[in-house]
Structure 1
Amino acid sequence: MRASVIIVSHGRPRALARCLMALEQLNTPEFEVVVVADRAGLEAAGREGRIKRVAFEEANISAARNLGIMAAAGEALAFIDDDAVPCPDWLDRLVEGLGRAPAATGYVIGRNGFSFQHRARRIRADATHGRLEVPEGGAVIAPEAGAPVKTEGTNMAFRRAALVEAGGFDPAYRFYLDEGDLNLRMMAPTAVIPKAIVHHGFMASARRRDDRVPLDLTEVGASLAVFLRRHGADAATMARRIYDQLAEEQSRVFRHLRARRISRRTAREIVRSFADGVEAGKARPLPPLVPLTGAPPPFLPFRPQAQGAPQCFAGRPWDAPRLRRAAAAAVAAGARAELYLFSPTALFHRRRFTNDGIWEQRGGLFGRSDRAMPLLQFRRFSGRLAEERGSSPLRQCK
């Protein structure tokens, strides 16, 4: 099954460039990349001929994704955010899932590089979620009591035919709940694949800072109101859900206020933006959705540049400049590279994919990586390195 990877980017060209660098390291020998972006994003996407580039300046992720769908020629359409990077086997695992179901989704790891940001859950017609327990090897899960699996926007894939028939994404959702709305409209079995992993960094945007402090909740409120209208909420359900969501957003904003990340005035403005968004969403036109039409341009093969066995580099923090140069040179030569920097401390570990295309992990030799580990790990350097390499994003490192 040929695959297309669709990335929407607005105002984050450096993040997009990093995401594309990670796609260069996928195991999949050939796929297609479609970038829907503003002018800066299209420049970051590089030269034409390897990537399908679609110009779109509006801040509407649903409309942008629909343009990406219409440009994509693969039978499998995978979606990832511009501020995320996939593990090398990500696309292969999602496409394998689409051999068993019309939709597939994986797990998302947050900014420390180890803790899960999202795992498996259902989406309900009142925009609430229910957690799912999924075996390590994954499973195809059917909708239950009108609640399908919620595909994560930065880690999801669909059979193109099913997505086109469903009308794609609803442009009434400019941001937030757009995937859940699609899941409820499709009401289809979904392959949940825990090992299809994406690392998501939550980079800054017009709606939030890079420390996850919200700046504007207008589209969150608007999308919630649109969602409840689309899925038949009565007046009492709509009032209850808006109240509950407002309380949740207020609690989050006040935590940032107590931590002195924002001022009282800013906190009030943020909360007010949610209420303003709800009113906008109640008045937003909701035309009926119809199947997408039109044939895409021919499939444009994207063949990743990384080849061969991954290369590992390891040392102490004071070795970092030298090791980073060596790892970056390996990536530039077409390899995948991992870098481990262990200090003689018990500091927690962090893992990230750098702008040079290196999977870098750093922390204390005695500190924990997995947050479920004991606080102290008594290991020799060689033993700790072998342990961490065994659970690395590359997994094949030798």
Structure 2
Amino acid sequence: MSDALTVSVVIVSRQRPEALRRCLTGVAQLMYHRFEVVVVADPDSCTAMRDLPQAAHARLVACDTANVSAARNVGIESAAGEIVAFIDDISVPEPTWLHYLIAPFARQEVVAAGGFVRGRNGISFRNKAEWVDRTGKTGPIELAGEGSVMFSATADRAIRTVATNMAVRRSVLADIGGFDPVFRTGLGDTDLNLRLADLGHCTAIAPLAQVHRGANDVRRAKGVARDLSDLGESWAVFLRKHCDEARLPDLLRRLKADQRRRALTRMIDGRLEPRDVRRLMESFERGWRAGLARERALMPRLAHPKEAFRPFVWQKLGPPSVLSGRFWSRSRLRAQALAKNGSVTVIRLSPTGLFHKVRFTNDGYWEQTGGMFGKSERTQPLISFWTFGRRVRSEIDRIREVRGLQ
């Protein structure tokens, strides 16, 4: 793949060294010729990266602030590429991620781009093409095909790109001050989307630019938030910034109703007790009040990088490959995967109707498991009858474009 624009991949991490190692291992397999890696992490995580061979070719920047927007700005100031691409530490990119995400920037009018995000099972999409309005409400955008599409801004809506899979021209990011540090945990990317729209900039959506997002460690193993104060604070700050203050009471009622509905659903599922619902709603309102009281600060232009562009060249990658076998062949397939150089996909199938799952292992290869007769894409029939070979070929065809397979 011939890629002309220089790209800085910024990874922000805080107290999640294992997730960061996995993310950086995945980034090292990117099929893009001219990119550098900037890791902004707490000092302990930076130290933990020293024994990872790939980390020696990245720029590690220590940052101990508990503010994801401020940390991303540190990454932007350290980035020397023409384009800055962002991915979270709990995400892993497909090998072709940068190729598809950066392609729309060949058109000068494109200032930002976003891709699709797969969720915990590695199959279903968590984020696709969406718009967002000034109240933070989102809605789907229907795309025809898998090619990238460019969108112009409108007066009341922006194109939503999520911070774990987005890219922006560095010059524009620096001019507008990057991410607003007032958003310490969430909504900073949505705020950036609206600010870019206010300036009339164009955003592209690239469906084949895909990353896989894992489970967030601020949630319990059951997938239930412990506290909603940060969320309440972010919403208060966001709505004060982008909406008429007269609308805030109605919007607060809408947000509280949404959060209460989610909490009650989890209570019915047995994941929360009644007292937990009350506690969560109290924490949301406490955060809302804190957000209303926060001072808005000026956003100065971000500084130029102090170091020159540093291409990420870890090792020469071999062509992407696929290994397949029966469910009980895990040890053999793992040994074969570790012996290869480059992006490797292992497909292990059992003689069942189990749904498929995909994950990027700590060993640095993709692993897809499930039943030979079960669903991979969730739109497929519950049970389909295949031979082993036909099923493997079907799954290879499903991932061919994003995994860079020939």
TM-score, normalised by the number of residues in structure 1 = 0.94
Tell me, yes or no, if structure 1 residue 26 matches structure 2 residue 30. yes
Specify the alignment match of 2:223 in structure 1. Answer: 212
Aligned partner (choices 56, 65, 76) of residue 58 of structure 1: 65
Whether the 8 Å CA contact 2:9–2:36 is kept in 1: the answer is yes
Tell me, yes or no, if structure 1 residue 390 matches structure 2 residue 401. no
Once the two structures are TM-superposed, the CA of residue 259 in structure 1 deviates from its matched residue by: 2.2
Tell me, yes or no, if structure 1 residue 277 matches structure 2 residue 290. no
Once the two structures are TM-superposed, the CA of residue 49 in structure 1 deviates from its matched residue by: 4.5
Spell out the pairing of 1:240-255 with structure 2 (5 A cutoff): 240-255=250-265
Specify the alignment match of 1:312 in structure 2. Answer: 322
Could you tell me how far apart the structure 2 residues matched to 1:296 and 1:285 are?
31
Could you tell me how far apart the structure 2 residues matched to 1:366 and 1:113 are?
18
Specify the alignment match of 2:119 in structure 1. Answer: 110
User: C-alpha root-mean-square deviation of aligned residues, in Å?
Assistant: 1.7
Could you tell me how far apart the structure 2 residues matched to 1:91 and 1:189 are?
19
- Structure 1 unaligned residues grouped into runs of 5+: none
Whether the 8 Å CA contact 1:4–1:74 is kept in 2: the answer is yes
Whether the 8 Å CA contact 2:96–2:403 is kept in 1: the answer is no
The amino acid that maps onto 1:213 is V
Could you tell me how far apart the structure 2 residues matched to 1:158 and 1:294 are?
16
For structure 1, which segment, 365-374 or 21-30, has the greater mean C-alpha deviation from structure 2 after superposition? 21-30
Aligned partner (choices 365, 376, 379) of residue 372 of structure 2: 365
Could you tell me how far apart the structure 2 residues matched to 1:276 and 1:98 are?
42
Could you tell me how far apart the structure 1 residues matched to 2:380 and 2:316 are?
33
Specify the alignment match of 2:308 in structure 1. Answer: 298
Could you tell me how far apart the structure 2 residues matched to 1:65 and 1:210 are?
27
Specify the alignment match of 1:138 in structure 2. Answer: 148
- Structure 2 unaligned residues grouped into runs of 5+: none
Specify the alignment match of 2:10 in structure 1. Answer: 6
How many correspondences in the alignment? 392
Per-residue CA deviation, residues 203-233 of structure 1 (Å, 9 max, x unaligned), is 313xx23543111111111111111111142
Once the two structures are TM-superposed, the CA of residue 3 in structure 1 deviates from its matched residue by: 0.4
Specify the alignment match of 1:173 in structure 2. Answer: 183
Specify the alignment match of 1:152 in structure 2. Answer: 162
Per-residue CA deviation, residues 265-312 of structure 1 (Å, 9 max, x unaligned), is 333222211111100000011012232234432212212536122232
Could you tell me how far apart the structure 2 residues matched to 1:156 and 1:382 are?
37
Aligned partner (choices 114, 133, 144) of residue 124 of structure 1: 133
Could you tell me how far apart the structure 2 residues matched to 1:107 and 1:376 are?
27
Per-residue CA deviation, residues 95-141 of structure 1 (Å, 9 max, x unaligned), is 21222200000011111111110011112111111221223212100
Q: Name the SS for the 2:190 alignment partner.
A: helix
Per-residue CA deviation, residues 363-387 of structure 1 (Å, 9 max, x unaligned), is 1101110000011111100000001
For structure 1, which segment, 113-122 or 307-316, has the greater mean C-alpha deviation from structure 2 after superposition? 307-316
The amino acid that maps onto 2:101 is L
Could you tell me how far apart the structure 2 residues matched to 1:210 and 1:155 are?
24
Could you tell me how far apart the structure 2 residues matched to 1:168 and 1:371 are?
37
Tell me, yes or no, if structure 1 residue 194 matches structure 2 residue 207. yes
Once the two structures are TM-superposed, the CA of residue 347 in structure 1 deviates from its matched residue by: 0.7
Q: Name the SS for the 2:260 alignment partner.
A: helix
Identity of aligned residues (%): 41
Change (3 A) 1:11 1:266: farther
Could you tell me how far apart the structure 2 residues matched to 1:190 and 1:102 are?
6
The amino acid that maps onto 1:299 is F
Change (3 A) 1:123 1:241: same
Tell me, yes or no, if structure 1 residue 96 matches structure 2 residue 107. no
Specify the alignment match of 1:76 in structure 2. Answer: 83
Could you tell me how far apart the structure 2 residues matched to 1:58 and 1:216 are?
20
Whether the 8 Å CA contact 2:104–2:204 is kept in 1: the answer is yes
Q: Name the SS for the 1:149 alignment partner.
A: strand
